[in-house]
Each structure stands twice: as structure tokens, then as C-alpha cells.
Amino acid sequence: MAVSEAEDFLYHLKKYMEYTTEMRASYEHLSDNHKKTVVDSSPTKQGPKPYQDMPTLGHDELFDQF
């Protein structure tokens, strides 16, 4: 059975959310020095939080519409 483009997108969005959640949990276990290095290297200078928050914001609405 073929997967629709919408189902494929939602699958990858869900995986992205899982990976960013794991990344953020891993980040929380870093030393303060390593956290600073990650934040300083981040394009947003905020660490992993924006990468986790971004797809989460529209997640429920997308799943309801697809």
C-alpha cells in the first residue's frame, strides 16, 4: 500500500520531534561549559530548544488537518 505525501510528511515530522526531544535531553546532561559551547555554536544562540519547539507548535493542527 502506497503512503500519501501527507502521511510521509507527518511520519518525518514525528521522527524529527522524537530526535529533537532526545537531543534536548542529551543537552540537559552536558556540563555548563559544554552547554555554552553548544549555544555559542548555534545559529540562533539558543541551543537546541528552538529546534524542538518549532515543529511542536503546529503539530496538533497539522495532524487534525491531514
Residue spans of the domains in the chain: they are 5-65
Nearest CA to 17 out of 59, 66, 65 is that of 59
d(C-alpha 10, C-alpha 62), whole Å: 8
Q: To 5 degrees, how large is the angle CA 55–CA 21–CA 33?
A: 115
- Tens digits of residue pLDDT in 35-61: 999 889 888 888 777 777 766 666 667
| Contact between residue 50 and residue 44 where contact means Cβ atoms under 8 Å apart | yes
- Give kind and range of the element (H or E) at residue 62: helix 49-65
What is this structure's pTM?
0.65
pLDDT of residue 65 exceeding 80: no
Q: In this structure, which amino acid lies at residue 54?
A: M
Name the band, by pLDDT with cuts 50, 70 and 90, for residue 14: confident
